[in-house]
Amino acid sequence: MRKPIFTGSAVALITPFNPDLTVNYDKLEELLEFHIANGTDAIVACGTTGEAATLSEEEHCAVIKFVAEKVNHRCVVIAGTGSNDTMTAIKLSKSAQDSGVDALLCVTPYYNKTSQSGLIKHFTTIADNVVLPIILYNVPSRTGCNIKPETYAELCKHPNIVAAKEASGDISQVACIRSLCGDNLDIYSGNDDQTVPFMSLGALGVISVFANICPQEMHDLCQLCLDNNFRDAQKMHFHYLELMNIMFTDVNPIPVKTAMNLFGFEAGECRLPLVPMSAGGYHDLKDCLLKYDLIDKYKTYSK
């Protein structure tokens, strides 16, 4: 039986920047150690939350290589290598593979979008050019393109296409994917607030924004689900729901990076076209973090 890439909580890791908006590798290393020490089961480098869209190809490859080297197999490392250009996705995927990562996360093509048959050709062409397992990333709200359950069923026939990060927000679609694909395709929630319902349908975990600020808590939530303790998982889900949701009151990763800065992790600003939160949004976020007693907790850790 095929072993899953990971079970539990994978953090969609932020990319910290210096004041001049170059990558801050010292802070990146601190964050990696923070996650390894606090229960994170897998680390996703250069995803949406990592601002991959504004990294140059050189930066993109360098960040992935740095993460793989510093983690050094202490937990699973997944590289975001998707693109709306198939050849670019192959180039990024091969570079990540050479860097020693454990798996790839490939988003659907965006802007040019493509058809369902185009999705099959795009992803199978990438999969044909690597040996690593691939997690398909379906996030129609950002890409304008949805992977249909029947398309998943065709894609998972490829031996390298083994999982999906489902951020469609459609519970019925997830149920249909599970029904059609069974154990041939592992599913991970792409939305923090849907982790528990997804895992009740057989998902193996989450690729999480929330885990940036609460790594141990997200790991524990997933473990309750994996232990089939959905009663306590539900309670934990409801407890943290407000905090999960406030991470999306502005464009991701603006709120989560702001939170990390409030904790003292010096994550830096986001690159344009993302801009700082409004004064009102900032104060609402800070009030929520104070409500959960997170600022004082992490101020101690980050120093």
Mean pLDDT across 60-83: 98
Chain segment 98-122, per-residue pLDDT in tens = 999 999 999 999 999 899 999 999 9
Q: In the prediction, which pLDDT does 302 show?
A: 55
What pTM, to 2 d.p., does this model score?
Answer: 0.97
pLDDT exceeds 90 at position 300: no
Please, which contacts does 273-277 make with residues 24 or more away whose CB atoms are closer than 8 Å?
A: 274/51, 277/250
Nearest-10 crossing angle of helices 279-291, 294-302: 90
3-state secondary structure of 45: strand
Distance between CA atoms of residues 67 and 271, nearest Å: 20
pLDDT exceeds 80 at position 55: yes
> Which helix or strand (DSSP H or E) is residue 77 part of?
strand 76-80
- Copy the structure tokens of residue 6: 């990971």
Asked if 187 contacts 204 with a C-beta cutoff of 8 angstroms, the reply is yes
**CATH no. for 8-232:** 3.20.20.70
Phi and psi at residue 94, in whole multiples of 5°?
A: -65, -40
Phi and psi at residue 48, in whole multiples of 5°?
A: -60, -45
Active site residues: 137, 165
Chain segment 258-299, per-residue pLDDT in tens = 999 999 999 999 999 999 999 999 999 999 999 999 998 876
Mean pLDDT across 128-143: 97
Instruction: Provide the residue type at 236 as one letter.
Output: M
pLDDT exceeds 70 at position 303: no
Distance between CA atoms of residues 171 and 233, nearest Å: 18
